[in-house]
Each structure stands twice: as C-alpha cells, then as structure tokens.
C-alpha cells in the first residue's frame, strides 16, 4: 500500500529520491574523503621547518606559482626532464598545495638539492646572469626583508606543525631570501631520486675520449662550457660555486679522474653520498645527459685542454 502511495505522490517521490541519492553520495564520496587512506603521507616526508615554511609563504606571496608548476606528470617526457613523477603522499603538509598549471619556467617539483645554495642565491639575484633570455624577475631585494619570527610561529601553530623554541630562534636575522632558498632545497626531496648507480648500468661508454685532442671538439666543448658550466665552474674552469676543474683535486681527493669518470659525472650529475672511485660526492652538480654522448665528450676534450692535457 505504502508503495503505491509513494508512486502516486510526485512531491513525496522527489523528496525520497533526493534523500536516497544524498545518502549514496555521502557513503561513496564524502565519507572516503575523510578517511586517512585518502590522505596518504609518504614515508620519509618531514613537516616544514619554520624557515622552510616561511619560504613557502614567500613563494605564495611572490606568485611564483604563476610561472612554475610543482608537479611532474607520469609521462615519459616529463620524467626524463624533471625526474620521478609526483606522488600523492608528497603533498601531505602542503596547505595549500602549489601544483600550479602554468609553466613559463620549468617545473620545480624536483628542484631540492638540484643546485647548491650558492647557485640558488645567485640565480634569484640575477637569473639573466645564468640564462640571458630568462624572463624570470630578479628577487635579490628579498634579502632586505627580515623575517618576523612571531609571524612564522603563528603560521606554524595555525597549521598544527610541531616545533621547538630553538627552531623559531633560528629565524632571527634571516631574510625572506634565506627562507626561499631553504624552501627550494626541500621541495621533492622525500622522493628518492633514481639512483645514479642504475643509470650507470645502461651507460655503455668507451673508456677513453674518442675526441681526445680534436681541435673541432675542443671548440665545440668551449662553447658548450660557456653556456652550461661556467656559471658554476668559472670562465676558465677556476671554480666558484662548483669546484675548480684545473687543480689536482677531484671530488675532494688529490689525483685526477679518468675520462669516463668525467663523462659519468657530466652525464648523471651528482648526489650527496654517492661514491665515484672511492670519493664521496656532496651533490649539487646537475645532470647533462640531454646533451648527448658526443657533446659530453666535447666538453671533456675542452676541460682537458684547460688542464693542458
């Protein structure tokens, strides 16, 4: 009887249908959204320190998200260019997340540890000194804005992050630029980078430079060097942000490395803690595999010519 009454009363029918659909929506959508499984946290992910959080605020305040994304899509081309694709669990502490959607500049999801701090400072002060055509604004003036520890502390509290009074004390005298660099260096570091050791396996490279002493290769290497390397290693290899290439110390130990070790360093870049010929890297040298085999050998030829070898 009740059934037939329901079917004859369109208003009651509409109300009951709406309630049933709403229950379905809550059970299948909203309830799962509240469960912890929908908010995964990557193992090894740490909450932001006060300095890093202050840097993230600067990133938001300056609208870096308008030119940079912070997410690597799971596409081969992206992974080759930027590194491991982004995982949901990486963004657990990001309120709000800064994925962005506009890439005027490159993606920054794997920027942490890609360059040394000194590179970051110099690049923020004058991006054009590295890349003449860069349209990234200069941000050196951020170093004149001192952080307000009380303000950062309030933000840590609002996000429910734990911290020690010492961590807040560390902010004294720090500038917004220091905070921004600290933030850059932590982005994406909870995801392990593809091990340079793995890449080494598919790298079948001749042990000696096939372009050794070739004047054309040296000329080509010279040009590549001034475009890619001189900002860190100095105009004539004398060093700067990166170590000197013309002294007798390589990876902090006296004594030269072999041609194929040079090749590997340039091809793979370096990561802190990796070991080459028994020498431990500190990290901060970006990979140049995209140049391709010949050009990397040209660079080796040029470096050897600088060394007078």
Tokens of 75: 């596409």
Q: Between 156 and 285, whose beta carbon lies closer to ligand HEC? A: 285
Tell me the C-alpha distance between 128 and 224, whole Å.
17
54/111 with CB nearer ligand HEC: 111
Nearer to ligand HEC, 18 or 128 (CB): 128
First to last CA, the chain: 100
| CB of 205 closer than 8 Å to CB of 260 | yes
Spatial neighbors of 266 by CB under 8 A, at least 6 apart, are: 287, 288, 291, 296, 299, 300
Residue nearest to ligand HEC (CB): 105
- Closest distance of CB 89 from ligand HEC, Å: 23
Token pair of 2 as six digits: 């009740």
- Can you give the binding site for ligand HEC, defined by CB under 6 A? 59, 62, 64, 66-68, 104-106, 108, 111, 114-116, 119, 127, 130-131, 134-137, 139, 180, 184, 228-229, 231-233, 241-243, 245, 249-251, 262, 265-266, 270, 281-286, 288, 299
CA distance 271 to 200: 14
Residue pair 40/139 in contact (Cβ under 8 Å)? The answer is no
Q: Is 143 exposed, middle or buried (0-12, 13-18, 19+ CB in 10 A)?
A: middle
Minimum distance, C-beta of residue 216 to ligand HEC, in the bound complex (Å): 18
Cβ pair 243, 249 in contact under 8 A: yes
- State the nearest-atom distance from the C-beta of 137 to ligand HEC, in Å: 6
Residue 25 C-beta: closest distance to ligand HEC, Å? 40
41 vs 282, beta carbon nearer ligand HEC: 282
Torsion sign over Cα 300, 120, 231, 217: positive
CB of 245 to ligand HEC, least distance (A): 5
Q: What is the rounded CA–CA span in Å between residue 122 and residue 181?
A: 11
- Cβ proximity to ligand HEC, 32 vs 66, nearer residue: 66
- Rank residues 9 and 227 by Cβ distance to ligand HEC and give the closer one: 227
If the CB atoms of residues 21 and 272 are measured against ligand HEC, the closer one turns out to be: 272
Tokens of 285: 């040298």
Structure tokens at 82: 């930027």
CB of 103 to ligand HEC, least distance (A): 9
Question: Measured from the CB of residue 156, what is the shortest distance to ligand HEC in angstroms?
Answer: 21
Min separation Cβ 168 and ligand HEC, Å: 23
- Rounded to whole angstroms, the Cα distance separating 107 from 101 reads 10
Are 126 and 143 contacting, i.e. CB atoms less than 8 angstroms apart? Answer: no
Q: Hey, what's the torsion of the CAs at 225, 228, 233, 237, to 10 degrees?
A: 0
Q: Which is nearer to ligand HEC, 157 or 216 (CB)?
A: 216
């Amino acid at each position: 009887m009740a059934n037939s009454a329901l079917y004859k009363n369109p208003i009651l029918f509409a109300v009951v249908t709406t309630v049933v659909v709403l229950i379905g929506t809550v059970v299948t959508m909203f309830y799962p959204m509240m469960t912890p499984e929908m908010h995964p946290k990557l193992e090894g992910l740490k909450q932001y320190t006060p300095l890093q959080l202050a840097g993230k605020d600067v990133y938001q305040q300056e609208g870096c998200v308008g030119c940079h994304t912070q997410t690597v899509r799971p596409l081969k081309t992206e992974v080759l260019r930027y590194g491991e694709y982004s995982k949901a669990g990486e963004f657990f502490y990001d309120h709000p997340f800064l994925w962005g959607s506009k890439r005027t500049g490159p993606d920054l999801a794997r920027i942490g540890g890609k360059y040394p701090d000194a590179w970051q400072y110099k690049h923020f002060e004058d991006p054009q000194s590295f890349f003449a055509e860069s349209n990234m604004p200069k941000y050196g003036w951020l170093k004149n804005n001192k952080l307000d520890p009380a303000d950062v502390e309030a933000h840590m509290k609002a996000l429910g992050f734990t911290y020690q009074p010492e961590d807040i004390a560390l902010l004294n005298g720090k500038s917004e630029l220091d905070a921004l660099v600290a933030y850059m260096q932590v982005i994406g570091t909870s995801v392990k980078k593809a091990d340079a050791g793995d890449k080494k396996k598919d790298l079948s490279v001749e042990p000696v430079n096939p372009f050794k002493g070739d004047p054309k290769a040296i000329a080509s290497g010279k040009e590549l060097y001034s475009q890619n390397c001189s900002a860190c290693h100095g105009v004539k290899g004398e060093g700067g942000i990166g170590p000197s290439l013309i002294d007798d110390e390589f990876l902090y130990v006296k004594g030269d490395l072999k041609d194929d070790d040079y090749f590997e360093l340039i091809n793979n870049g370096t990561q802190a803690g990796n070991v080459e010929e028994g020498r431990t890297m500190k990290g901060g040298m970006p990979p140049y595999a995209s140049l391709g085999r010949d050009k990397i050998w040209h660079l080796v030829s040029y470096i050897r010519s600088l060394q007078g070898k």
